[in-house]
A and B are shown apart, each in its own frame.
Chain A
Amino acid sequence: MVTQNTASFSSIATLSIIQMRNVSASYDSQNFVLKNVSMNVKRGTNYAIVGASGSGKSTLLKLMNGMMIPSSGVVLYNYQKPDLKNKEYKKSIAKIGYISQTLGLVKNSSVLDNVLIGALPRLNAVKSFLKMFPKDEIDTAHEVLNLVGLDTKSNRKVHMLSGGEKRRVAIARALMQKPDILLADEIVSELDSVTAREVMDVIKDAQRKFKLTAIMIHHDMNLALEYANRVAVIKDGDKVLEIGVDGEQIIDFQTGDLTQEEIMEMYNEPQK
């Protein structure tokens, strides 16, 4: 297991935020999408997960935020088991910012309303029904919108925005959750490389500002190596290796020693 020293962080930073131990997962209890995967995500890490389509990347994220239960093995978030039916857990997942591949924005609502959805777990039933957000929540919403560069379009309906702008709204909504971890599933794959990098820069800024841990799935190995400080490569439901980009350190689990160039050659698929 990785024991790379992250001395610059305080003691809490060395604690794991997500731990996966020998996790297998399946949608039909026959074909396993993930096979015996172990991962240890430390606070403050900027993780990228790379792999071909159907390799089980999205499943990995769904396991992390509790939308899926593993067939075997354990997933721990802040040392507790994810379970959407558990009320206590439901409260704590408000701290997991998750952005799906399809973003999941409410298209007929305004940008601001979409962002405020991130604050709803903190609001009681009556106030949320009457749409009575406290002033500081609305201020926070404008603040995160400013951070992602969309404050001038806060009254625009989401279906009128461009692809890059929609991703910024989804990021703003996730930040509105005041998360300590951000999970993002291939959110820049459909963008051209310039827009994709703009969106990634927004995430990078947010990460610095809020000291976020991030786990992002990428289709493109170049982006992963550019923005992450750890990269895990998944192939056919197995995590085949993990690369620490910071120290150019390559940790190999099953495939033998490979250089970074060889890995990129293996898993870098042609861009859409």
Chain B
Amino acid sequence: MNPKNNLLIGAIIAVVVVMSYDVGVDPIAFVDGIPNLGIVLKEMTEFESEHWGTAFWAMLETIEMAFVGTIAGVVISLPLSIFAARNISSKYVYVPLRALLAATRTFPSILWAILFVIMVGLGPFAGILAITLYTIGFISKLQYESIEAIDYDPVEATTAIGLSKIQLIRYVIIPESAPHLLSQILYMFDYNVRQTSILGIVGAGGIGFYIINYIKFFEYGKAAVFMLVVLIAVLAIDWISVKIRDRYIMKAQHGQQVKVKTN
């Protein structure tokens, strides 16, 4: 390792120490607090089984919200990503559009949820709008980047044939940039389910509403039931998306040479 690196690492450590002091990091409080965690955990193990049903339906609502929001967001993103791509669109379109998309990504969806609760009232619809908006910001960015990265040869060749811009987008740009889309949608859905789980905190629907209220009233046993359902659902969705990815995306990228797992 050279001295320059050592200096850099030293500087980073110094900055971390100074900043920690500034924001009041207190390791002693952490160690002292461990017994408190024990109390919470002990109460959490006292499941109140009559809540499983409620938890299940609340989680289903959460997943429905995430699904509707993700699909709506993706559908809106596709045309937007074409307008935001530098290699297709005009400067006067993509510059403001990109700024707008960046703005939607600036805040986490929970802040958008607060705004939509004010707009359309409490309930899942506000949550769906928040998820949709956040998905638009994210998927559009991923898509316009993959559109900008496509091979220029087919674009040139088909322009020489005399294709119109719409035909070019339909027959060259979309097929060439699509292989990543499925993987992006799966990732986004996965992420949105976790996001939607906490939107209930601000009254925008979903399972978070129950979790935050039981925690507020120190009913950790009830909250634990709901948290466990979230955990199971997220793990299940994760597992399913891995399966979908293996089946479709591996094939799309490597022809028929799908890797066979040996276990």
Are B176 and A104 interface neighbours, CB within 8 A? no
- Does A102 have its Cβ within 8 Å of any Cβ on chain B? yes
The stretch among B70-78, B133-141, B163-171, B223-231 that forms the contact with chain A is B163-171
A111 to B162, CA, bound (A): 19
CA distance A91 to B161 in the complex (A): 9
Given A107-B151, A108-B175, are A121 and B162 also a contact pair (CB < 8 Å)? yes
Contact A117 B161 (CB under 8 A): yes
A109 to B175, CA, bound (A): 6
> Contact at B153–A120, with CB atoms within 8 Å?
no
Contact: B157 with A120, CB < 8 Å?
no
The answer for the CA separation of A94 and B181 in the assembled complex, in Å, is 32
Query: Judging by beta carbons under 8 Å apart, are B153 and A104 in contact?
Result: yes
| Cβ of B203 under 8 Å from chain A | no
| CB <8 Å contact, A65 and B160 | yes
Q: Are B166 and A129 in contact (CB under 8 A)?
A: yes
A258: CB under 8 A from chain B? Answer: no
Instruction: Give the nearest-CB partner of A131 in chain B.
Output: B170
Chain A residue numbers with a CB within 8 Å of B255 are: 157, 159-160
Q: B153 to A102, Cβ gap below 8 A?
A: yes
Asked if residues A118 and B252 are in contact (CB atoms below 8 Å), the reply is no
Q: Size band of the A side of the interface?
A: 35 or more
A-B contacts at CB below 8 angstroms, number = 87
Q: List the B side residues contacting A84 at CB < 8 Å.
A: 159
Known: A107-B176, A108-B176. Contact between A128 and B161, CB under 8 A?
A: no
Give bound CA distance, A107 to B255, whole Å. Answer: 11
Q: Which of A153-168 contact B (CB under 8 A)?
A: 157, 159-160
Please determine whether B171 and A125 come into contact, CB atoms closer than 8 angstroms.
Answer: no
Whether, in the assembled complex, B256 has its beta carbon less than 8 Å from a beta carbon of chain A, the answer is: yes
Q: Give A84 to B160 CA distance when docked, in angstroms.
A: 8
Is the CB–CB distance between B160 and A120 below 8 Å?
no
Residues of A within 8 A of B237 (CB): none
Q: Does B106 contact A (CB under 8 A)?
A: no
Known: A107-B151, A108-B178. Is A98-B167 also a contact (CB below 8 A)? Answer: no
| CB pair B171 A113 closer than 8 Å | yes
Q: Does A103 contact B (CB under 8 A)?
A: yes
Contact A108 B252 (CB under 8 A): yes
Chain B residue at minimum C-beta to C-beta distance from A173: B161
The interface of chain A, by Cβ under 8 A from chain B, is 65-67, 84, 90-91, 93-94, 96, 98-100, 102-109, 113, 117-118, 120-121, 123, 125, 128-129, 131, 157, 159-160, 173, 177
Residues of B within 8 A of A (CB): 151, 153-164, 166-167, 170-172, 175-176, 178-179, 252, 255-256
Apart from A91-B162, A106-B158: 15 A-B pairs, beta carbons within 8 A:
A65-B160, A66-B160, A84-B159, A90-B162, A94-B161, A98-B157, A102-B153, A104-B157, A105-B154, A118-B161, A120-B161, A120-B162, A120-B163, A128-B167, A129-B170
